Amino acid sequence: MSIPRLKPYLSMFAAVLMLGQVLTAQAEEALPDFTSLVEQASPAVVNISTKQKLPDRRIAAGQMPDLEGLPPMFREFFERNIPQQPRSPRGDRQREAQSLGSGFIISDDGYVLTNNHVVADADEIIVRLSDRSELQAKLVGTDPRTDVALLKVEGKNLPMVKLGDSERLKVGEWVLAIGSPFGFDHSVTKGIVSAKGRTLPNDTYVPFIQTDVAINPGNSGGPLFNMKGEVVGINSQIFTRSGGFMGLSFAIPIDVALDVSNQLKKDGKVSRGYLGVVIQEVNKDLAESFGLDRPAGALVAQVLEDGPAAKGGLQVGDVILSMNGQPIVMSADLPHLVGSLKDGDKAKLEIIRNGKRQNLDVAVGALPDEDQDIGTGAGKGVERSSNRLGVAVADLNDEQKKSLELKGGVVIKEVQDGPAALIGLRPGDVISHLNNQAIVSAKQFTEIAKDLPKNRSVSMRVLRQGRASFITFKLAE
């Protein structure tokens, strides 16, 4: 083929080549560059090691815990390594347990944030800076409920991180972690924000930031940065079925951590708002039984006697839809909001009661140090209910009502074949509400049971071992 005939093809090839180069350049520009962020932020990230004397029977020297054998649940992901077995002067053998974690300096005079579980039960805490120098740290205070600990090291003009606003963080935003996984100092991993406001088991007061940043043992307590180089969270937990990272990491929002650290610095302890209720999730069936358009809110399953909620007029069966203008979509949203308040603060609650919306103003109290337990007992005077439910119930006596903080209700004495058995009711369970009506006696319970609607969700409030919850069921034709 002659050169003139090739020219159009050569021109087309050159154009395609140039387009490919442009697209490649654009793709490279679209990917984030973390180098400047890491250079600026790394000096303020520290390695934290602790020492704790353990009895001789704990773990053989030099043996590493077997993560594979642990239950596949959320876990504190730092490891303890036992390097030696020194003998005490008295001759009894002692071991020193060492834990590795991360932290970050939040002030130039030496305040350091980390996780509570990194320094829990430590006899000695060592903070190692990026220049390999080591400083002994003093424990200012800890808050196990949020897993936050505040340390103090002696120093001046120390490198410090920039603090961001976790409320402004958006799902899909790039984030970066710096820490010491498995003791490898200042390791950097990146990812995106997967979700916000996550609630994990046993962590009622932390609306976790979920990310897909690779987090491993030793990252615990380290900072999570946004692209501006600001700390937006403390890397705290992972979800794993293998013992290693599986793409689900959780960080404590920096707003929560700073509120905790400020209280620890000022008062040495953390105070939180308290309503005095037991709540549960509103599922589709409960929403139908309470006359809600959709499943949302926090259903009040129990109101503790003489608590702030009781004094403010909140009742069992109320569904809390919002607090101080903040919507309650999931029941777990409520503890986050209440916990952020202080003793005496006002909580404006929007609720649904008997199918109607209304507002309540409740003055929150201070969260007690320990949860209150409520007991239950057996009753006398059995009355068999309608065969439609299949339970035999009895009135509660005065002592049972007092211990359960109830004005009425019935205790199940026998469960027969029928709906009650299918939904898991047991002898000893206490029923305080049926079909949105408070139960005052076994006779009334039987009358209500006879008139229950068919093929529609019906709610029942049940107390088992002192803990209350609403359940639903349907009666067939």
H or E element that contains 289: helix 284-289
Active site residues: 117, 147, 220
Contact call for residues 232 and 210 (beta carbons, < 8 A): no
Q: What single-letter amino acid sits at 202?
A: N
For 394-449, give the DSSP string: EE--HHHHHHHT-SS-EEEEEE-SSHHHHTT--TT-EEEEETTEE---HHHHHHHH
Q: What is the CA radius of gyration of the chain?
A: 29
For 291-352, give the DSSP string: T-SSS-SEEEEEE-TTSHHHHTT--TT-EEEEETTEE-SSTTHHHHHHHTS-TT-EEEEEEE
Q: Any residues with CB less than 8 A from the CB of 397 and at least 6 apart, and which?
A: 377, 379, 380
How far apart, in whole angstroms, are the C-alpha atoms of residue 448 and residue 270? 47
Could you identify the residue written with the tokens 């039987």? Answer: 446
Q: Any residues with CB less than 8 A from the CB of 83 and at least 6 apart, and which?
A: 61, 62, 96, 98
